[in-house]
Chains A and B, each alone.
Chain A
Amino acid sequence: MSVATAAPPTAPPVRSAPAKLRWSERISAGVSSAGLNVAVVALTLAWIVPTLGLLINSFRQGGAFNTSGWWTALAPPFSFTLDSYRAVLGASDLAPSFFNSFMITIPATLIPTAIAAFAAYAFAWMKFWGRNWIFLALVGLLAVPLQLTFIPLLTLAVKLGLNSGNTLPGGLNAGFLAVWIAHTGYGLPFAIYLLANFFRVLPTDLFESAEIDGAGPVTVFFRLVLPLSVPALASLVIFQFLWVWNDLLVALIYVGGTPEVAPLTVTLTNLVGSLGQHREYLTAAAFVSMIVPLIVFFTLQRYFVRGILAGSVKG
């Protein structure tokens, strides 16, 4: 995400109830509101039809959708089946990559969030040389294309033995470490930007009284700043989680085709290539890859929206 104009969101003012209308106005308002409702419903339907089509196809009998469209399955006689899901979960590389996606996403969310929180705390509450310039540079880095970093980083990763074939002492596949480090670097500018803007508007007197009570910065950070910033932290975590989980490019670059480390997006892309004849498994595979982000999205949507707004709407 590279949204770069600052300011915390403000609560939208409550709309006043519309003034009383004459009956003629009420009728014309009624007609136009019916038209409006139809337009909105039509647009929304158009928006979900592609997903719906795939969802229905994923529950159809093996070859059915090679010969007829997904909409024909909506007319009786119904014959839905879980075969495609059984097939992809049982037989392909999908189950290990499901696991890999978690192993990549959890640290690649945790590390940048924590490091960004440390840095944002310093940017918001400590004085040091070059503070404003460093922060400005971070904002600028929000727009830099990741492609620019690949060649030197790949060379470096190979030099340090961080290519995905290697196993590090302790049994960790080096590919995981490389992807964690890469995602941390790529995610930090936005993360610091979001958190610093939030930390900055926390009440000053709270910190002062805590310091008078003899609390050190670590105590203040863990006991005051973090608990008070749960909304911002939550939105950042969701953002980073979705971004890493859905990422294809960074995974392709640093993990490549190594199946022991490949996340869902990479395996799925390979399936697109190799399963041209068996698209039914592709439908189920796509939904398997969507389950986790959709759960995160629907349960935590409120925080997610708040995070986007904190990053972009001017107050």
Chain B
Amino acid sequence: MDGSLGLIARLPALEVDWGTLVSVNLPTLLFVVVGVPLALVGYIVGADVLVRRLPKRSQPSVRPWVWVGPAILFVGLILVYPMVGTIVRSFFDRHGDKFIGLDNFRRVLTDGGVLIALRNNVYWLVFYTGLVLIFGLLLAVLADRVRFEKTVKTLIFMPMAISFVAMSIIWQFVYYYRPPDVPQTGTLNAILVNIFHGQPLTWIQDPRFNNFALIFIGVWGATGFAMVILSAALKGIPAELLEAARVDGANEMTIFRRVILPLMMPTIVVVGTTMVIFALKAFDVVYVMTAGNYNTDILARRMYSELYSAGNYANASALAVVLLLAVVPVLIFNLRQFRAVEERR
């Protein structure tokens, strides 16, 4: 609360002193503007000079590693090494020195809070993915037929550019609750009370629907992404095909179900798997909106609190591995799709 008190006390301050801000941070600024670009260009030019000094015959076998080397180093250090580390860690006790087999998983998977988080992840998986696909497809098909398509797409796509934190703040004002005897200030409750003459609802706290209220924030953010991809696939369908179906007397609904949908299926699958991965990794919305309270917790947030609030690395590792196991089927599916596309080349 002292943050807000400080804010009020300092309200008269109007201008940001950018001069001081920059001079205090000058070393950082120099690093960013000069150091980083110089290091990147310097590396590749310098490394190539060194490769040229090698005997002509060994150059072609050394050179590729100079180019992929940094990438392999970074991916190895930031993704592969810690991934293996976490998997190993999940079989050890809290302090990381005693092997305890599957005990961490047994403890984590019987914890009431984790089970609720798992259930909510399933909600996210099903409803987030489903609604993003439905809205994305609907908007792609409908926008394709109006003259102001570009404007529509830009506006729907816009949430893609803003952070989940900002999204959450935006939606706090949509879901805001006030008691029935005072005017509602939240958009949704105002509609509910003034237009439908209902009672205001506590969208974020009520465990009957708060998960769906949170999921919808994610849906709102990702629909534009799905729409843009699906729309491109839709425009890739040859016009003659649709024309031929119309000439044969098919109505628009039949054309959509029998021609458009099957032809778009591969793209829908790609968007769908991407959304499944997003749903499993979801973190920000729940973290900002409820911090996992009111039965809205999800795995990624739960893992974060095991790590930071509880400091329980064993539990956190086990949860991360559970998350990985959930992603593995999608991962295998993606790799298969990728190889299938490669073979068609």
Chain A positions near chain B (C-beta within 8 angstroms): 1-7, 9-10, 12-13, 15-16, 19, 33, 36-37, 39-40, 43-44, 47-51, 53-54, 57, 65-71, 86-87, 89-92, 95-96, 99, 102-103, 106-107, 110-112, 114-116, 118-119, 121-123, 126-128, 131, 134, 136, 138-153, 156, 170-173, 176, 180-182, 184-186, 188-189, 192, 216-218, 221, 242, 245-249, 252-253, 264-265, 268-279, 281-283, 285-287, 289-290, 293-294, 296-298, 301, 305, 308-309, 312-314
Those 8 A-B pairs whose CB atoms lie nearest each other, nearest first: A185-B78, A171-B27, A274-B3, A152-B85, A246-B163, A297-B161, A119-B71, A122-B67
Docked CA distance A89–B341 (Å): 50
Docked CA distance A118–B73 (Å): 13
Pairwise interchain contact A148-B71, C-beta atoms closer than 8 A: no
A151-B320, A293-B161 given; 13 more Cβ-contact pairs under 8 Å: A50-B173, A103-B29, A110-B40, A136-B335, A147-B323, A151-B86, A172-B31, A188-B74, A272-B288, A273-B3, A290-B163, A290-B166, A294-B161
Question: Can you sample 18 A-B contacts with CB below 8 Å?
Answer: A2-B274, A44-B155, A57-B173, A67-B185, A95-B18, A96-B21, A126-B64, A150-B86, A150-B320, A152-B81, A152-B86, A156-B82, A176-B28, A188-B75, A218-B44, A272-B169, A294-B158, A294-B162
When distances are taken between beta carbons in the complex, the residues of chain B under 8 Å from A71 are: 187, 190
B202 CB to nearest A CB, Å:
16
Docked CA distance A146–B190 (Å): 39
Pairwise interchain contact A40-B300, C-beta atoms closer than 8 A: no
A59 CB to nearest B CB, Å:
14
Which stretch (B102-110, B142-150, B207-215) binds chain A? Answer: B142-150
Docked CA distance A188–B79 (Å): 10
Pairwise interchain contact B52-A216, C-beta atoms closer than 8 A: yes
B92 CB to nearest A CB, Å:
11
> In chain B, residues 134-163, which have Cβ atoms closer than 8 Å to a Cβ of chain A?
138-139, 142-143, 145-146, 148, 151-152, 154-163
Given A143-B334, A145-B327, A286-B170, also A186-B79 (CB < 8 A): yes
Main secondary structure of the interface of B (DSSP, over half): helix
Docked CA distance A107–B13 (Å): 31
Docked CA distance A107–B160 (Å): 22
Docked CA distance A71–B339 (Å): 53
Q: Is B228 an interface residue (CB 8 A)?
A: yes
Pairwise interchain contact A301-B154, C-beta atoms closer than 8 A: yes
Pairwise interchain contact A289-B163, C-beta atoms closer than 8 A: yes
Pairwise interchain contact A47-B16, C-beta atoms closer than 8 A: no
Pairwise interchain contact B169-A54, C-beta atoms closer than 8 A: yes
Pairwise interchain contact A314-B267, C-beta atoms closer than 8 A: yes
Given A182-B78, A269-B288, also A281-B7 (CB < 8 A): yes
Pairwise interchain contact A297-B220, C-beta atoms closer than 8 A: no
Q: Is B132 an interface residue (CB 8 A)?
A: no
Q: Is B115 an interface residue (CB 8 A)?
A: no
